[in-house]
Amino acid sequence: MEMPLLFYLRKLSGDFKIFNYLKKIFLLLFIFIATGVKSQNLEDSICTYSIFGNVYIYSNYEKISIRTAKNLAKHNHDSFALKYFRKDLVNRIFSDIIGAPGGFFIGVNIGSWLVGNNNNNKNTVYLGIGLIAISVPFEIASNRNLKKGVRIYNDNLVNRIRNKQ
């Protein structure tokens, strides 16, 4: 017969006072975490969701573009968040400029192989793989800057509301 987890904790603690203190500490931690999970319910706050490496921005349960998020930061005079939104845009453009030709080089060779043309140039495949590999760090940095900009925007929004009260 298996013993329940609480019995093991009581047995390990040796003293019931320690066990009661542990229960109180865990209860307080649970209360603090549970109240802080959904405490930010602001109309202007924005959030990000990552799906298969792509980061999407939502405001009021509607998907918005990076440009709209940037305009929200401009409207609220949030220069720190705006800086990260600009970094995101630069990294994303750079990643697209480098990664798109890489995908093209790989796609042309795969397409000619599917058609039956066996005159594939392996160097263009390697060049495509190399260009895509170069563009990946820029895409990662772009997503990181976007998430950081959203976090800073929401933190500053909460601070502005607290200062008004």
Angle between helices 122-164 and 79-115 (to 10 degrees): 160
The pLDDT value given to residue 1:
46
Evaluate if residue 66 carries a pLDDT over 90.
no
Instruction: Quick: pLDDT tens for 120-136.
Output: 788 888 999 999 999 99
| Average of per-residue pLDDT across 15-43 | 64
Both tokens of 132, joined, read 């895509």
Give the CA angle between residues 31, 36, 41 to the nearest 5°.
140
pTM of the predicted model, to two decimals?
0.64
